[in-house]
Amino acid sequence: MSAETQILVMSDRDVVAARQQGRALALEAGFSASEATLIATAISELARNIVSYAHQGTVTFKPLNGHGGAVGLTIVAADSGPGIRDVSQALRDGYSSSGGLGLGLPGVKRLMDEFEIASRLGSGTTVTVTKWRT
């Protein structure tokens, strides 16, 4: 599997590129087409949040080869934007600070096997998610 790669995200075009790169890496790692689509959906949500709220950030892909032959993919979406005022509220279904459906972060959390978020007001947000091949 490929080495770690990173995509700079500043526009909708970059959101598409990140989604495509993540899907390609997932397929290369042996994920099924449906699993790769779920991973790509999570990446799209994370990258879109970067564009919407921080205007610039990165999406980093880290292929994993774990114990016992486990294979996975970690995605780190990071920005230096305004941060999230209330992370627990942002993770509730239906909450949206932008008037959307409020499915972004809670949806990403459901799609992936591991989910971690770190955010500081005025310093940015980093979301780290991992999907393991079943």
Tell me the CATH number at 57: 3.30.565.10
- The first and second tokens of residue 109, run together, are 């959390």
- This prediction has a pTM of 0.92
CA atoms within 13 A on the CB side of 44: 13
The domain total for the chain is: 1
For residue range 33-70, what is the model confidence (pLDDT) as tens digits?
Answer: 999 999 999 999 999 999 999 999 999 999 998 778 88
Task: Name the β-bridge partners of 60.
Answer: 6, 76
For residue range 3-43, what is the model confidence (pLDDT) as tens digits?
Answer: 899 999 999 999 999 999 999 999 999 999 999 999 999 99
The answer to whether residues 104 and 49 touch, using CB atoms and an 8 Å cutoff, is: yes
Tell me the residue range of the domain where 94 lies.
Answer: 5-132
List of residues 6+ apart from 73 with CB closer than 8 A: 22, 25, 26, 29, 31, 39, 61, 62, 63, 64, 130, 131
Q: What is the mean pLDDT of the chain?
A: 90
